[in-house]
Amino acid sequence: MNRIKCIVSYDGSKFHGFQVQNKLRTVQGEIQKAIHNICKDEEIVIHASGRTDAKVHGRKQVFHFDTKRDMPEKQWKRAINHFLPNDIYILDSFLVDDDFHSRYSATKKEYHYLLSMNEYSPFETNYIYQYGKSLDIKAMKEAAKIFIGEHNFASFCAIDPYGNTIRTLYHLDIIEKNGIVTFKLIGNGFRRYMVRHIVGGLIQVGAHRIDKAKLEELLESKGEKKCLFKAKPQGLYLHEVFYE
């Protein structure tokens, strides 16, 4: 068996998320269909570094799969792309060791969230959250500091009483250029909705609806007081997945 690692970029606009769902159009479903055209006698299941939700984009998402088929590693890129729809594109392909796993070998992940303070644009609506008002960038940058380091993010992710909600956030940078705000988050892992809740909370600070202390109170309550603000999926990008 050969283990193939692929780096994939996708526009999440027209997908019901990454993970296969019966009859719905998903990124995983489309990729598996494409691979099936190449490996017709195998039932291939791909394993991604993690799921992304409906409308969330992938820039350098990673997945792997096992196949009996022998091919030069770079030819997988070309072959799979040939069968993919135009909103998914394999950027690179590698033959990797059997002990590589897209999800378990990942050490860090980087997410970006894009928000526009400018007037509504019909071209950006699926790609940048059309907030349309000014935000206090300085206040958001100051409040962002509370998330850095190891924390129990229970107040900032989907409710799951059994999950481990402790994660380490290494970076949370906020960059504004021409009215577009980019939130860049790097951490050892992210729970479902975690980026959207953190960004949602920061937007509330930027709009002067809550202050840094209130945000910190939510974080320190470790799930007792939930962050009720969740930024829209359209502005979210799984930017990159890092391995040793």
Closer by beta carbon to its own copies, 132 or else 149: 132
The verdict on whether residue 111 carries a ligand-binding annotation is yes
Judged by beta carbon, residue 57 or residue 64, the one nearer its own copies is 57
CA distances to 2, 155, 172, 208 from 94, in Å: 10, 38, 30, 48
Q: Which residues bind its own copies (CB under 8 A)?
A: 9-11, 57, 81, 86-89, 91, 119-123, 125, 127
Compute the least distance from the CB of residue 63 to its own copies, in Å.
15
Catalytic amino acids? 53
Question: How far apart, in whole angstroms, are the C-alpha atoms of residue 2 and residue 46?
Answer: 13
Query: For 54, what's the count of Cα atoms within 13 Å in the CB-facing half-sphere?
Result: 5
Question: Is the Cβ of residue 111 or residue 156 nearer to its own copies in the bound state?
Answer: 111
Angle (nearest 5°) at CA 107 between 106 and 110: 90
Q: How far is the CB of 10 from its own copies (least distance, A)?
A: 6
109/185 Cα distance (integer angstroms): 8
Residue 215 and residue 193 in contact, taking contact as beta carbons nearer than 8 Å: no
Q: Give min distance, CB of 114 to its own copies, in A.
A: 12
Please state the residue numbers annotated as binding site.
111
